[in-house]
Structure 1
Amino acid sequence: MSRALERRGELQRLARVLGVEPDDLGALDGADVATLRELRHAVADRLLEQSRDQFSRAVALGDALPASVAARLAQHVMGPVLGGRAAALLSPRKAGELARRLPADFLADVACHVDVRKVGPLLEDIDRGTMAEAGEHLRRRGEWVVLGAFVGHVRDDVVADLLDGFDGEALLRSGAVIEDASRIDAVVAMLTDARLDGLLRAADEHALWTDVVSLNVHLCDAQLDRVASAVERLSGPRIEALAALLAADDELRAAARPITRRLSARFLADVAADVDLGRVGGILEGIPTATLAQAAAELGRRDAWPLLGRLLTVLPEDVLADLRPELDDGLLRRAEETDAAAGDGPPAGPDGDDAAGSAKSPPAPPTRR
């Protein structure tokens, strides 16, 4: 996860504890992630200690009452803010009993005010159906920070139930603020290829490429392979949008390298026909020389010499210098000759059109979806 993305998530969590908007925390612009997290924990601890005596008495009263009565008191007397803070003092058994008797929308309200460090052990006694229903309410409200905090404290089967109701945008917005980053790989593993495709499309449609690329650093090889395959299934305009983002951000480009170095030679040959090669340098820069050489050979086999010449032209100088020794001399010469001829421009025909306009074009690969 990039430092900017991690810091954004921590600011959102701190704002929630303080009961303000993230934009109200401009005075903390110079604070790093660790400092923001320490401040959030200190505030949450102080809020609990400030009212510990009152909360302890309320919890003791709840223990002495039937669970149905205690649930009504929690909902109508304490409310979600105080109930969320007092939840840290509940026993796992009592938490489970109350959760079964409280409406899911109220549980979602309470979830916005609990300190997950304190209530994590309580979640085991809350049944997965109740958890999933409350999570669905949080999704509808766009409470991504709350959802991201709980992912690290609930079982995989509960997370899987919750993800079933998420579209690509919801997956991405909640995944980008998962507090326990070690869980990101497991969450991605729960997604089918179709849902992974939807996540990448959402990144393009909602300008969230930064979020999805930043998550790559937390993925194992198997999930990185799946993400690379999903990138290869993107349409040309989406590839261009991703490449433009990478070209403009050194940190993000470095985070994307585990993906770009997994892109296949056949994909590069195919994409050469679908995109403006001048706009995809952010992707080409991270691709291994051997893969570029294989892509060049594939374009040669397709007689796509203009595309190959253009590819060689847009590669960064240092990449091209490493690539030249890997290319067949005849392949390289023909590609450069074709590119030079294209640069000079073909002679005009009798009607003012390019004379080459009537020449047979080299066969192109099938257009990707």
Structure 2
Amino acid sequence: MSSTDAEIRKLARVLGVSADRFAYLRDVPQADVRRLRDQVTTTLFDAHLNVLERMAGASRLLPNPLLAKLAERVFGPLLAARIAGLVDIGRGVDIAKRLPPGFLADVAAELDPRRAAGIIAGLPEPVVVRVARELARREDWITIARFVDTLPETTIVASLDVIPDHGLPLVAEMLDEVARVAYIVDLLPDHRAGTLPDDLAG
């Protein structure tokens, strides 16, 4: 898969449509498609920002256990992902710890990691590993790749343990920065690093 094809798949994921709809972008430089993806993500996450900020502010009046129940049963993953970047980091971490891995995986797929970097980095390693295992079960390599820049190294190492060998090159293809591929390879034991194609492993 070319770097532009990977960007097209990530753009399609943001918009919730088939990548085939953007086949006409295959001749566009990868950097330009990525800029488009970033702009689309910003536009989507900034839509109704005032309403989301009011909701986040109102949430401060509610206890964390209740907010966790509301997130799962009322807000849903999309709204929870939009609000995540607007809540206090410590509170966001505590709420996330109370949610089941399946729901957190749903939220992760909708989340812009740049907006909730503090919460993501603060999640306990076992929580992240459970979510990584669920995302790997779903073969959601795009979402897994999006969190490499945000998680602590020890958490990445633990998460890599639950990603099957066949998934490693698929995750590597979806990393935003080529340099991060070498970083991931350095974290893998030799027998697993060898599962990556030479053009990815460097």
TM-score bracket relative to the smaller structure:
over 0.9
Secondary structure of the structure 1 residue equivalent to 2:90: helix
Instruction: Kindly indicate whether structure 1 or structure 2 has the higher relative contact order, using CA contacts under 8 Å at least 6 residues apart.
Output: 2
Matched with 2:199 is 214
Distance 2:79 2:152 in 1: 26
Matched with 1:121 is 118
CA contact (8 A) 2:4 2:26 kept: no
Q: Are residues 1:102 and 2:87 paired?
A: no
Matched with 1:51 is 48
Q: Percent identity?
A: 28
Amino acid at match of 1:27: Y
**Which among 129, 134, 141 is matched to residue 131 of structure 2?**
134
Amino acid at match of 2:164: D
Secondary structure of the structure 2 residue equivalent to 1:20: coil
Matched with 1:27 is 24
The structure that has the greater radius of gyration is 1
Distance 1:62 1:133 in 2: 26
1:193 shift after superposition: 2.3
1:58 shift after superposition: 1.7
Matches within 5 A, 1:39-188: 39-188=36-185
Q: Which moved more, 1:127-136 or 1:80-89?
A: 80-89
Q: C-alpha offsets along residues 298-326 of structure 1, whole Å, 9 cap, x if unaligned?
A: xxxxxxxxxxxxxxxxxxxxxxxxxxxxx
Q: C-alpha offsets along residues 148-182 of structure 1, whole Å, 9 cap, x if unaligned?
A: 11111111111111111222101121122122332
Q: Which moved more, 1:165-174 or 1:107-116?
A: 165-174
Q: C-alpha offsets along residues 136-157 of structure 1, whole Å, 9 cap, x if unaligned?
A: 1100001101111111111111
Distance 2:56 2:7 in 1: 30
Amino acid at match of 2:187: M
Distance 1:50 1:192 in 2: 43
| CA RMSD across the alignment | 1.6
1:45 shift after superposition: 1.3
Question: Relative to structure 1, is the Cα distance of residues 29 and 192 closer, same or farther in structure 2, using a 3 angstrom cutoff?
Answer: closer
Distance 1:47 1:124 in 2: 23
1:214 shift after superposition: 2.3
Distance 1:184 1:15 in 2: 22
Q: TM-score, normalised by structure 2?
A: 0.93
Distance 2:164 2:136 in 1: 10
1:195 shift after superposition: 2.2
Distance 1:26 1:9 in 2: 12
Question: Relative to structure 1, is the Cα distance of residues 128 and 180 closer, same or farther in structure 2, using a 3 angstrom cutoff?
Answer: farther
Distance 1:38 1:190 in 2: 29
CA contact (8 A) 1:111 1:146 kept: yes
Q: TM-score, normalised by structure 1?
A: 0.52
Matched with 1:12 is 9
**Which among 190, 193, 197 is matched to residue 190 of structure 2?**
193
CA contact (8 A) 1:48 1:86 kept: no
Matches within 5 A, 1:255-334: none
1:128 shift after superposition: 1.0
1:67 shift after superposition: 0.3
Distance 1:53 1:106 in 2: 25
Q: Which moved more, 1:184-193 or 1:106-115?
A: 184-193
CA contact (8 A) 1:99 1:107 kept: yes
1:103 shift after superposition: 0.7
Question: Relative to structure 1, is the Cα distance of residues 192 and 82 closer, same or farther in structure 2, using a 3 angstrom cutoff?
Answer: same
1:54 shift after superposition: 1.8
Secondary structure of the structure 1 residue equivalent to 2:85: helix
Distance 1:214 1:83 in 2: 37
Q: C-alpha offsets along residues 217-276 of structure 1, whole Å, 9 cap, x if unaligned?
A: 4xxxxxxxxxxxxxxxxxxxxxxxxxxxxxxxxxxxxxxxxxxxxxxxxxxxxxxxxxxx
Distance 2:24 2:191 in 1: 43
